């Protein structure tokens, strides 16, 4: 299955969307825009009306790479991205079989912020998130708004995984 990107900006066509377009240019990559997905907030009671969370995670289990693309809002993920990430708690509560299928999957973070430097704490929490799920964090990519990539080698690493032909 082709790679997947989860786009978590609060606006369409903003810096994060533009940057994601540059990162994935010329490569097959399906984009799920969280502005269009119905993802309810995490519920301790695990009581949800039907929504798009489980179908998106199923898609992730089949993707050779999933890119989490978020703007930096107040030193962290955007609210829509955080809402999505909170729902991964379902995978340790009532959807453990599905959660196990994420083990060994490859994830990457792509963030856009106004600061010249990446938000290190965001990279750290993303790596912890991957570690908890048993997924591999391939790279954390950052750019100031829609400008040049802060670390072109990190962007290149993501591109290598986008291009990779699945052999297993
Ligand atoms: C609510 C809000 C909070 C923000 N907080 C930060 C921040 O903490 N650090 C930062 O570098 N940029 C911050 N910014 C700037 C955005 O991260 C930056 O403009 C980004 O490129 C916006 O991407 P978007 O067009 O996809 O929303 C913030 C912007 C908004 C709207």
Please, what is the average pLDDT of the chain?
96
Q: Is the model's pLDDT at 168 over the cut of 80?
A: no
* Domains located in the chain, CATH noted: 4-163 (3.40.50.360)
Whole-angstrom distance, CA of residue 31 vs CA of residue 14: 15
Tens digits of residue pLDDT in 32-58: 999 999 999 999 999 999 999 999 999
Q: Cα torsion at 139, 63, 86, 40 (round to 10°)?
A: 140
According to the model, what pLDDT value does residue 165 have?
59
Whole-angstrom distance, CA of residue 64 vs CA of residue 107: 9
According to the model, what pLDDT value does residue 166 have?
52
According to the model, what pLDDT value does residue 1 have?
85
Phi-psi region of 108 (alpha: psi -120 to 50; beta: other; left: phi over 0): beta
Mutation to probe ligand 1, out of 109, 113, 148 (largest number of atoms < 8 A from CB): 113
Tens digits of residue pLDDT in 56-112: 999 999 999 999 999 999 999 999 999 999 999 999 999 999 999 999 999 999 999
Q: Is the model's pLDDT at 146 over the cut of 50?
A: yes
Tens digits of residue pLDDT in 122-143: 999 999 999 999 999 999 999 9
The predicted model gives 10-21 an average pLDDT of 98
Q: Which residues line ligand 1 (CB under 6 A)?
A: 9-11, 14-16, 71-75, 112-115, 145
Q: How far is ligand 1, taken at its centre, from the CA of residue 101, in Å?
A: 33
According to the model, what pLDDT value does residue 37 have?
98
According to the model, what pLDDT value does residue 167 have?
52
Q: Are 36 and 11 in contact (CB under 8 A)?
A: no
């Amino acid at each position: 299955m082709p790679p997947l990107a989860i786009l978590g900006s609060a606006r369409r066509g903003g810096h994060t969307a533009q940057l994601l377009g540059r990162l994935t240019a010329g490569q097959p990559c399906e984009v799920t825009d969280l502005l269009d997905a119905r993802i309810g907030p995490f519920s301790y009671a695990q009581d949800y009306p039907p929504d798009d969370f489980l179908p998106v995670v199923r898609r992730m289990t089949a993707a050779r790479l999933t890119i989490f693309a978020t703007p930096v809002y107040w030193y962290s993920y955007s609210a829509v991205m955080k809402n999505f990430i909170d729902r991964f708690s379902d995978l340790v509560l009532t959807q453990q079989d599905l959660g196990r299928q994420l083990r060994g999957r490859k994830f990457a973070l792509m963030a856009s912020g106004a600061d010249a430097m990446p938000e290190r704490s965001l990279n750290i929490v993303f790596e912890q998130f991957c570690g908890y799920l048993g997924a591999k964090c391939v790279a954390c990519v950052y750019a100031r708004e829609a400008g040049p990539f802060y670390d072109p080698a990190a962007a290149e690493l993501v591109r290598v995984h986008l291009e990779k032909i699945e052999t297993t």
